[in-house]
Structure 1
Amino acid sequence: MLKTKYLLNTVGSHAIFWSLIFSFFVVPTLGYQEQKLAYIGAYASKLLPQMILAYGMLFILVPYVLNRYGKVLFGISVGISLYLSFILYTFIRYYGFERIFPEYYRLPPEVDFWWRATDFHYFAQNAIWFLFPAVIFMSVRYYKHQREALELREQKKSAELNALKNQLNPHFLFNTLNNLYALTLKKSDQAPEVIAKLSEMLDYILYRCNEEYVPLKDELNLLNNYIALEKVRYGKRVSIQFESRVEQRVKIAPLLLITFFENAFKHGVSQEIKQAKIHAMLEADSELIKFSITNTVTSHKAESDERQAIGLTNVQKQLRLIYPEKHKLIVKEHGELFMVELKIELR
């Protein structure tokens, strides 16, 4: 049933298209013609060659020549097909309509079929008429394919981003719940404060960052809560400085920057015997977001931990998906320092 309906819709839309093409050339000047039937026949003789050329290009030349052998052979094939369409048109007109309406055409005897079939000037005059419907068909088909490809890319992008976020959120929760677990074991008086901050962070992650872009101020609040929790956990083992200058209306993809802090604490502070240091800076205006973070690293850390954190890998993927060609991420290690620099263009 659905296939039948689709077929009827397709045939109907094509019939309307060819009717409009025919009407476009005939109707405007039909009122000025004395022999209207002959005049209509003159344009009708072009319709069949136009249809054959258009469908031939659409269903044969594009999929089997252009897509397989390239533009050069496709161009040659179009030229040959165009000439064959011209031959067909000349045949229909000479042996058909000119015989039916001789008083309308009144051509000299020497202008016979072979004379026209080999006349390049006559061919060039008619070539544009044959190509016109085919170009429209090709343009509509190309636009449709581009739209479908764009929709598929957007669907793939959304699916990948959801998958990345589903990986990122548990990773974040694992770290913060570890903080709370450590405090409850010590029966610390700071546990209620930790629970309050963790509750605020979870509320943000679960309910307020489901949009593609969120206010950077909200992300900044999330970062400050996370840092506060980590400072409770590590105490004097870490010295952290976080400077920020953010304009009010700036937006960013959610849960990007927190990953860099997670990475700094997990691979810098947790493995440091002495006091670890973290320094971060965030600047943002309507055109550019600049973020940098530097943390100390230990020389004895496991090889598997080096720059391979799940969160860092995910944020690199997210940047490629959300900010293609508009971001620059530099990750480097210099001596006992691990540094990340990120720039995101907003325009």
Structure 2
Amino acid sequence: MALIIIPIFYMLDYFGVIKIPNDDPLEVILITLFWWLSIALPIHNYNYIKRQGVTILKVMVLTAVFIVALVVDTLMDIPDNPVTFIILMGFWIGVVYLLVPAFIKKYWKLIALIYIPLFIYFLYLRLFYGDLETYLDIKKDYPFYVFFLPIPILFFLWVYEQWKWFQNLKSEKSKAELAMLQAQMNPHFFFNTLNNLYALTIKNSNKAPEVILKLSDMMRYTIYEGKKDFVTIGEEIAYLTNYIELHKIRYKKDVDIQCYYDVDTHLKIKPLLFIILLENAFKHGVESWSKNNAYIHMNLTYTDNFVQFEIENNFDGTHTNEGGIGLENLKRRLQLLFGKNYTLLFNKTDNTYKVTLKIPPHA
């Protein structure tokens, strides 16, 4: 900026608009520039200053305290003036508090425990141990670098706090994203079931109460149990069974559905991880199969400290279970929940599709 302003000053002086004295003109220009900026910048940034008024006031107070310390030290002209020392301590405490107020509020007791004894020790040596010459001899032999030794410790403590805050932020972000993914359960099935329920009630079918009960159980499980960190495998099996039974009521064609469970039903797992794979088996398999030999075979076992869910279905050759937002949702949930400690495998032939999911149970 100075490279632009200074030539402008000289140009104005050349045309007689202003008069720059011949003795030390650069100093005059810089002083004028300083005061011009001091006045112009607050006016230009008035709205910002208005918003940050409290912070700016604190900075001004700290600046005034620092100036007072310099003035006191200059006027009294005493080596290691205790008055100056006290004022400067207040200044630096204020600066640190302005920069990291949360850290000071949390660790003020530790900071006081470190620095109050040091300060008392300084006052004792400076004022009560002996005369000034004695104090200067002690200071020469034992410089007061001890006041600076705790600073690296406090700095690394602050860095640790920032790291911990960042880790908590990532954890909260993952939890929020996971909650959002769990809330994105596809309502398509529930709407279809309600439509079928409406048709059953029109016909006065005796299946209507059964459908209402199963649908109610499923909705209750999705809304309430789905929000829990863990559910038992028995609860998850009951949920999948209700889903299958409701689909059996929907279809007029015969579907070979076989479910095999060899697992401790009291084991706890994350909820609603298998339902997407079962939904896809019905949607891309049974619903696309025009013949009468559609099938879904499902196995749930526990081997090598992993809960293993396998599901296989046939399809007509034009559909696939690999796409869709539901499966992408599942993959993202698995990454958030288990990192790399899970397995999701897909095996596709001309008209069969098999998925294997292995997850760790809750310890």
Pair in the same fold by TM > 0.5: yes
- Does residue 37 of the first structure (1) align with residue 149 of the second (2)? no
- Does residue 133 of the first structure (1) align with residue 159 of the second (2)? no
Rounded Cα–Cα distance in structure 2 between residues aligned with 1:190 and 1:15: 69
SS in 1 for 2:224: helix
Deviations, residues 48-87 of structure 1 (Å, cap 9, x unaligned): xxxxxxxxxxxxxxxxxxxxxxxxxxxxxxxxxxxxxxxx
Structure 1 residues without counterparts, runs of 5 or longer: 42-96, 108-121
How far apart are 1:231 and its partner, in Å?
A: 1.8
8 Å Cα contact 2:342-2:360 kept in structure 1: yes
CA 330–252 in structure 1, closer or farther in 2 if over 3 Å, else same: same
Map 1:61-72 → 2, pairs under 5 A:
none
8 Å Cα contact 2:225-2:271 kept in structure 1: no
- Count matched residues: 266
User: Paired residue for 2:296, among 278, 281, 291?
Assistant: 278
Rounded Cα–Cα distance in structure 2 between residues aligned with 1:269 and 1:101: 93
Rounded Cα–Cα distance in structure 2 between residues aligned with 1:168 and 1:187: 31
Rounded Cα–Cα distance in structure 1 between residues aligned with 2:172 and 2:140: 62
How far apart are 1:334 and its partner, in Å?
A: 2.1
- Does residue 20 of the first structure (1) align with residue 113 of the second (2)? yes
Rounded Cα–Cα distance in structure 2 between residues aligned with 1:39 and 1:279: 89
Rounded Cα–Cα distance in structure 2 between residues aligned with 1:194 and 1:130: 76
SS in 2 for 1:212: coil
SS in 1 for 2:261: strand
SS in 2 for 1:292: strand
SS in 2 for 1:331: strand
- Does residue 293 of the first structure (1) align with residue 308 of the second (2)? no
- Between 1:184-193 and 1:240-249, the stretch displaced more is 184-193
8 Å Cα contact 1:182-1:233 kept in structure 2: no
* 1:151 aligned residue: 168
How far apart are 1:207 and its partner, in Å?
A: 3.0
SS in 2 for 1:209: helix
CA 14–268 in structure 1, closer or farther in 2 if over 3 Å, else same: closer
How far apart are 1:268 and its partner, in Å?
A: 0.3
CA 98–240 in structure 1, closer or farther in 2 if over 3 Å, else same: farther
Identity of aligned residues (%): 35
Rounded Cα–Cα distance in structure 1 between residues aligned with 2:303 and 2:54: 52
- Does residue 322 of the first structure (1) align with residue 340 of the second (2)? no
How far apart are 1:343 and its partner, in Å?
A: 0.8
How far apart are 1:36 and its partner, in Å?
A: 5.3
Aligned-CA RMSD value: 4.0
CA 269–336 in structure 1, closer or farther in 2 if over 3 Å, else same: same
- Does residue 242 of the first structure (1) align with residue 259 of the second (2)? yes
8 Å Cα contact 1:179-1:229 kept in structure 2: no
Rounded Cα–Cα distance in structure 2 between residues aligned with 1:242 and 1:100: 92
What amino acid is the match of 1:298?
D
- Between 1:156-165 and 1:310-319, the stretch displaced more is 156-165
How far apart are 1:99 and its partner, in Å?
A: 5.5
8 Å Cα contact 2:347-2:355 kept in structure 1: yes
- Does residue 202 of the first structure (1) align with residue 295 of the second (2)? no
SS in 1 for 2:193: helix
SS in 2 for 1:308: coil
How far apart are 1:236 and its partner, in Å?
A: 4.2
How far apart are 1:321 and its partner, in Å?
A: 1.3
How far apart are 1:12 and its partner, in Å?
A: 6.9
What amino acid is the match of 1:309?
G
How far apart are 1:332 and its partner, in Å?
A: 3.1
Rounded Cα–Cα distance in structure 1 between residues aligned with 2:174 and 2:352: 34
* 1:254 aligned residue: 271
8 Å Cα contact 1:179-1:230 kept in structure 2: no
Rounded Cα–Cα distance in structure 1 between residues aligned with 2:102 and 2:331: 46
User: Paired residue for 1:233, among 250, 272, 276?
Assistant: 250
How far apart are 1:25 and its partner, in Å?
A: 6.7
- Does residue 161 of the first structure (1) align with residue 254 of the second (2)? no
What amino acid is the match of 1:213?
F
Structure 2 residues without counterparts, runs of 5 or longer: 1-52, 59-93
What amino acid is the match of 1:197?
K
Give the structure-1-normalised TM-score: 0.63
CA 101–203 in structure 1, closer or farther in 2 if over 3 Å, else same: closer
How far apart are 1:263 and its partner, in Å?
A: 0.6
8 Å Cα contact 1:268-1:276 kept in structure 2: yes
* 2:209 aligned residue: 192
- Does residue 101 of the first structure (1) align with residue 132 of the second (2)? no
Using CA pairs below 8 Å that are at least 6 residues apart, which structure has the higher relative contact order? Answer: 1
What amino acid is the match of 1:279?
H
Rounded Cα–Cα distance in structure 1 between residues aligned with 2:124 and 2:337: 61
Rounded Cα–Cα distance in structure 2 between residues aligned with 1:309 and 1:13: 48
Task: Judging by fraction of residues, say which structure has more helix.
Answer: 1
Rounded Cα–Cα distance in structure 1 between residues aligned with 2:104 and 2:249: 71
- Between 1:16-25 and 1:292-301, the stretch displaced more is 16-25
